[in-house]
Chain A
Amino acid sequence: EAGVTQSPTHLIKTRGQQATLRCSPISGHTSVYWYQQALGLGLQFLLWYDEGEERNRGNFPPRFSGRQFPNYSSELNVNALELEDSALYLCASSLRAGGNTDTQYFGPGTRLTVL
């Protein structure tokens, strides 16, 4: 079974530009989560999508946004990039919302560098 996939692997942008990151969940998973992990730091929750809707977001400015498509894949958009947005962006998927034992499975991440 294919795991969570993310693209691109690496992305280099300059300040002020926009970045789009993509994620495909494990087949059958409806929930997709996005996290930011700056170098040497822990995971910071960004966004959670389930069944095409945004269910929750972390403490990030509105220039971080995303969506989930009918096939449950997801896109994270970061507008007006700032240097401190440089980080590893991880996508995770889980089987369904509301289950007590649902577990998240992570993709390999997209490493975004803002110059």
Chain B
Amino acid sequence: RKEVEQDPGPFNVPEGATVAFNCTYSNSASQSFFWYRQDCRKEPKLLMSVYSSGNEDGRFTAQLNRASQYISLLIRDSKLSDSATYLCVVKGSPGDNFNKFYFGSGTKLNVKP
């Protein structure tokens, strides 16, 4: 089983739509979680960290569900510029390659006019 799993998509949505991605992780002791955005042939860029209480940054909301071992990313009022691949990242836990980052294979989002 992979450490981090994501639906590869693509998710094709119209502008203004709300879209949500989920990501599951295998190690229940994982401590830190992140969402990155990667544009085609570019480097990943940090979108947001995911905190236990959930966090929001403008149109983006991230949630963590430790019991079910998944994190989610919600994008409201989608813009054309949101089209990208969204990577779920889980940081290893102490005693299990701590400081090793596990990347999901990404979920592709296409926002259409």
Contact = CB atoms under 8 A, between A and B. Distances in A.
Given A42-B104, A43-B87, A100-B32, A106 B99 contact: no
A27 to B, nearest CB: 18
Interface in A95-115: 97-98, 100-109
Contacts of A35: 103
B34 interface: yes
Contacts of B32: 100-102
Given A100-B32, A103-B34, A43 B44 contact: yes
A24 interface: no
Interface string A27-43: 00001010100000111
A108 to B, nearest CB: 5
A40 to B, nearest CB: 10
B101 A45 contact: yes
Contacts of A50: 99
A43 B103 contact: yes
A56 B106 contact: no
B44 A106 contact: yes
A107 B106 CA distance: 18
A88 interface: yes
A98 B98 CA distance: 7
Interface of B: 31-32, 34, 41-46, 49, 87, 89, 91, 97-106
